[in-house]
Amino acid sequence: MSTCTRKIAATALLLFATLPAFARDAGGADKPIAVQMYTLRNAGTLDNQLKIVHDAGVSAVETVGTQKVTAAELKQLLDKYSIKAISSHVQLADLRNDLDGVIAFNRAIGNTTLVVPYLAETERPTDAAGWTALGRELGEISKRVRAKGMRLAYHNHNFELVDFNGKTGLELLFAAAGPELETELDLAWVARAGYDPAAMLGKFKGRVFAVHAKDNAPKGHAEDEGGFAAVGQGVLDWKVILPAAAAAGVHWYIIEHDQPRDPALAIRTGADYLRQHLPASAHR
């Protein structure tokens, strides 16, 4: 090998080594990884937040409502960074009171999945009958959403996982809702409620639109971050969870951290981990 050739080869290797992990991972670009924008709420302007997603090598997001901008403004920023909206967290009150407006906004940004993200304390059922009634209501909303070419999912915390004679509130809700309603399982909250995330995925096989991929720090650690950790950096057993998620038919793995000290780092760490560890069957 000539001296010139050796120099070219060395330069190429140096450039490759300095590329971010997602660029070096030739098989990672088509993996179904997204970012929940709530993670970035304190990371500057919306433009800056989407740039962080782009720079982490992720091309999909789950929005929070309207992100406090018009549909045209949001679509322009998404297009600027070649990012698509794959779902949106929409408050139950908005689904009840302005479903047509919610659908119009999301259709304008190219999104087709709406997710009930959280129930205020006044909205939370306190008994099995209440969870069943809420499930029936969400089932009816799901039918209306489906008729408009969209789908509805429900995102859990830990309060849905209270047991009522062998069934959790979450299970009662979905049993009453019917097949149109899908789930977005937040795996860290499932674990915090004392359940095995892999087993919970099995219970909802075939109707898991997405999982919120986040981790719990060891007890007593990361208290300034709500006790959460970046994916793969905490106590959840992802070597068991990820194959279980693929077997359950999960469509998207959405990176989230409720209280990140460094939002950009949490997203980069989570995206790199998922690109490296998602099974081949998780490709979209």
**Tens digits of per-residue pLDDT, 51-102?**
999 999 999 999 999 999 999 999 999 999 999 999 999 999 999 999 999 9
What pLDDT was estimated at residue 281? 77
Looking at this protein, which amino acid is placed at residue 256? E
Share of the chain above pLDDT 90, in %: 87
Query: Is the pLDDT score of 4 beyond 80?
Result: no
Q: What's the pTM value of the predicted model, to 2 decimals?
A: 0.89
Q: Is residue 171 part of a domain?
A: yes
Q: Alpha-carbon distance 270 to 264, whole Å?
A: 10
CATH of the domain at 161: 3.20.20.150
Q: Is residue 9 part of a domain?
A: no
Q: What tens digit of pLDDT does each residue of 227-249 get?
A: 999 999 999 999 999 999 999 99
Q: Alpha-carbon distance 199 to 243, whole Å?
A: 11
What pLDDT was estimated at residue 29? 57
The domain total for the chain is 1
Q: Is residue 8 part of a domain?
A: no
Q: Alpha-carbon distance 4 to 12, whole Å?
A: 12
Beta pairing partners, 216: 228
Q: Is residue 76 part of a domain?
A: yes
Q: Is residue 12 part of a domain?
A: no
**Tokens 């490759």, located at residue:** 16
Range of the domain at 260: 24-282
Q: Is residue 208 part of a domain?
A: yes
